[in-house]
Amino acid sequence: TAVEIRPGLRLYKAALDRAAQESLRDEIREILRAAPLFQPTMPRTGKAFSVRMSNCGPLGWVSDRAGYRYQPDHPVTGQPWPAIPDALLRLWSDLADYPEDPDACLINYYDVNAKMGAHQDVDEQDFSAPIVSASLGDSCRFRFGGDTRGGSTQALTLDSGDVLIFGGPARKMFHGVDRILPGTSTLLEPPGRINLTLRRAR
Ligand code: MD3
Ligand code: FE
Residue 120 alpha carbon to ligand 2 centre in Å: 6
Q: Please determine, for residue 145, whether its predicted confidence score (pLDDT) is greater than 90.
A: yes
Is ligand 1 within 6 A of the CB of residue 193? no
Residue 1 has pLDDT above 90, yes or no: no
Looking at the DSSP assignment, which residues form a beta bridge with residue 69? 62
Q: State how many domains the chain has.
A: 1
Q: Please name the amino acid found at residue 75.
A: P
Does the CB atom of residue 21 touch ligand 1 within 6 A? Answer: no
Residue 83: domain span: 2-199
pLDDT at 102 over 90: yes
Whole-angstrom distance, CA of residue 26 vs CA of residue 195: 14
Please indicate if the annotation marks 88 as binding a ligand: no
197 Cα: distance to centroid of ligand 1 (angstroms): 7
Distance CA 178, CA 2 (A): 24
pLDDT of residue 195: 99
For residue 162 and ligand 1, the question of a CB distance below 6 A is answered with no
Q: At what angle do helices 86-95 and 18-34 cross, to 10 degrees?
A: 120
> What does the pLDDT look like over 132-141, one tens digit per residue?
999 999 999 9
pLDDT at 5 over 90: yes
**pLDDT tens digits, 161-194:** 999 999 999 999 999 999 999 999 999 999 999 9
Mean pLDDT computed over every residue of the chain: 98
Residue 164 near residue 133 (C-beta atoms within 8 A): yes
* CATH code, domain with 139: 2.60.120.590
Each as own residue / partner, the long-range contacts of residues 145-148 (CB below 8 Å, 24 or more positions apart, any chain) are: 145/118, 145/173, 145/174, 145/175, 146/173, 146/174, 147/120, 147/172, 147/173, 147/174, 148/174
Say what the pLDDT of residue 64 is: 97
Question: Is residue 193 a known part of a binding site?
Answer: yes
Q: Which mutation among 197, 198, 199, 200 tests ligand 1's pocket best, with the greatest number of atoms within 8 A of CB?
A: 197
pLDDT (tens digit, 9 = 90+) per residue, 41-93? 999 999 999 999 999 999 999 999 999 999 999 999 999 999 999 999 999 99
For the entire predicted model, the pTM comes to 0.98
59 is known to lie in a ligand binding site: no
Q: Is the CB of 180 under 6 A from ligand 1?
A: no
